[in-house]
Amino acid sequence: MRKVLITLVMLSLLTTGFLFAGGKTETDANAPTSLVVSSRLWSPAAEQKFLYDEVFPEFEKENNVVVKFEILDDTVLLKRAKLQAETGRVTTDVVIVHNGVMDQWISNNYVEELPVSDWKGRTFSAAFMDSITSGGKTYFAPVGGDVYLLLANKKALKYLPAGVDVQDITWEQYVDWAVAIADGEGEGKTAVTGVPMKSLIYMYGGMFLSYGGEFPVINSPGAIEGWKLLTKLHKAYSPTVMTYDNVTAPMKSGETWLTVAHMARTGEAYRSNPSNYVIAKAPKGPKGIGSIAGVSGFGIPVGAENRDLALKFIEFMTRPDIAVKVARGTGGFLPPIDEAIAVLGDSPVDEVIKKGVMVLQTGVVSGVPGSAYTSWGAVKQVYDDVFAEMIIGTGVFDKALLDAAQAKLEALKK
């Protein structure tokens, strides 16, 4: 028995030793010959394929590198940044993160300052400047801007109130339309992202802007106007709206007919069959069209192994002609670069981008003040909870609930 025992112990020790040794030799074999780009943006499979096929080759040829592009969501990107910073093995060269978390990257010193003034021929759109800079320094180069658009299934058009133009609709008319659809069809057919911590806050926050609200104050006079109107949607939302983490699927399947949502999501549904949908700017309020403008940004992790190449890559990707190409090919995001927008503005190529540019240029637009709060996710939840209780739950406007929610928001402020 003892022999077997000793053999087993030896075996397990050997195995462990082998694992460690095996690990070490492989490290050397993996000498970085490639530029690692970890991105939250362009995640749909077709968009990834477009980048591989039509964007990266030009850069790879010019600089004799291989771009290793990988999709990771923001939480994972941050975790990995923490791991790489702590162990000093920074193997990511470029990150693309959302403006909701940029502050965490900057305040933890995970990214370095970018020499934006060296890059000629491009002006980053003013709407996004707050997010990408901190203390007068620019840490991120903006990419993939987004605003909110209206998408309607053509079957919904027969319920459109008389005299209303979808391309120039007010929030009151939108709500009436949604209610008319629900009455006519016997079930709610309007969509928002009801799953918590997604984009509900932007959908509603954008609307409140159009009533003079201030983002993300939940009980401003403008927001109160907005909430009052939204309570009418109590029965107009789809019965399973609370399980939508994305409006694309219900809009594509015809489970819902009407939504105001992120232009990438509405764009995805629209492009799946353009003859089936109408796409328009977001509805307007007394102050015009309100929309939250989101953006992502290229950043370079502190200590990146291929820093110079990474700079070249960002310079390449923010060139107006490339930005336009990427925006068209990945369809659904705006290039946040004025020179690129100028080219796109009057181009009929992409319906979705065109509508987005109109919102951005003519609307009341706010960025995402993620850096002002300890946790932007918790801020989102405040909106999600009010939505669940007041819009879906009771359908009755409740000022006290909004005040309590605002108190929660205040408590989350830094």
Residues 264-323 that bind another protein (CB under 8 A): 265, 268-269, 272-276
At its nearest, how many Å lie between another protein and the CB of residue 140?
A: 17
Residue of 37, 59, 95, 104 interacting with another protein (CB under 8 A) = 104
The token pair at 207 is 């609307």
How far is residue 241 from each of residues 234, 371, 383, 393, measured CA to CA in Å? 11, 30, 15, 12
Rounded to 5°, the CA angle 130-147-290 comes to 85
At its nearest, how many Å lie between another protein and the CB of residue 136?
A: 25
Residues 216-255 touching another protein, rule: CB under 8 A, are: 238-240, 242-243, 245-246, 248-250, 252-255
At its nearest, how many Å lie between another protein and the CB of residue 333?
A: 12
Q: Verify binding: residue 1, another protein, rule CB under 8 A.
A: yes
At its nearest, how many Å lie between another protein and the CB of residue 268?
A: 5
Q: In what order do the strands lie in the sheet with 364-366?
A: 284-285, 288-292, 364-366
At its nearest, how many Å lie between another protein and the CB of residue 13?
A: 8
Q: Verify binding: residue 348, another protein, rule CB under 8 A.
A: no
Instruction: Give the total residue count for the chain.
Output: 414
**Helix locations, 306-375, DSSP H:** 307-317, 320-330, 338-345, 351-362
Q: Verify binding: residue 102, another protein, rule CB under 8 A.
A: no
CB 299 within 8 A of CB 280: no
Residue of 82, 137, 228, 399 interacting with another protein (CB under 8 A) = 82
Residue of 89, 137, 228, 413 interacting with another protein (CB under 8 A) = 89
Q: Is 106 helix (H, G, I), strand (E, B) or coil?
A: helix
Residue of 35, 92, 102, 111 interacting with another protein (CB under 8 A) = 92
**Among the listed residues 208, 227, 359, the one whose alpha carbon sits nearest the alpha carbon of residue 282:** 359
At its nearest, how many Å lie between another protein and the CB of residue 169?
A: 20
CA–CA dist 184, 180 (Å, integer): 6
Binding segment for another protein among 80-88, 135-143, 215-223, 289-297 (CB under 8 A)? 80-88
Q: At what angle do helices 351-362 and 338-345 cross, to 10 degrees?
A: 120
# of chain residues touching another protein (CB under 8 A) = 83
Task: Pick the closer one to another protein by CB: 82 or 137.
Answer: 82
Task: Pick the closer one to another protein by CB: 224 or 343.
Answer: 343
Burial of 90 (0-12, 13-18, 19+ CB in 10 A): buried
Residue of 54, 57, 75, 121 interacting with another protein (CB under 8 A) = 75
Q: Is 292 helix (H, G, I), strand (E, B) or coil?
A: strand
Task: Pick the closer one to another protein by CB: 385 or 398.
Answer: 385
Task: Pick the closer one to another protein by CB: 109 or 240.
Answer: 240
CA–CA dist 366, 196 (Å, integer): 21
Task: Pick the closer one to another protein by CB: 46 or 396.
Answer: 46
CB 355 within 8 A of CB 278: no
Amino acid identity of 391?
A: I
**Among the listed residues 285, 332, 283, 273, the one whose alpha carbon sits nearest the alpha carbon of residue 155:** 273
Task: Pick the closer one to another protein by CB: 43 or 123.
Answer: 43
Q: Verify binding: residue 78, another protein, rule CB under 8 A.
A: yes
| Cα-only R_g, the chain | 24
Task: Pick the closer one to another protein by CB: 122 or 155.
Answer: 155
CA–CA dist 193, 201 (Å, integer): 9
Residues 352-411 touching another protein, rule: CB under 8 A, are: 374-378, 381, 384-385, 388
The residues, any chain, with a CB within 8 Å of residue 220's CB and separated by 6 or more, are 208, 212, 213, 214
Q: Is 326 helix (H, G, I), strand (E, B) or coil?
A: helix
Residues 44-73 touching another protein, rule: CB under 8 A, are: 44-49, 68, 70-73
CA–CA dist 68, 339 (Å, integer): 28
Residue of 28, 61, 86, 117 interacting with another protein (CB under 8 A) = 86
Residues 120-179 touching another protein, rule: CB under 8 A, are: none
Residues 8-27 touching another protein, rule: CB under 8 A, are: 8-9, 11-12, 15-16, 19-20, 22-24, 26-27
Binding segment for another protein among 3-11, 214-222, 226-234, 338-346 (CB under 8 A)? 3-11
Amino acid identity of 269?
A: A
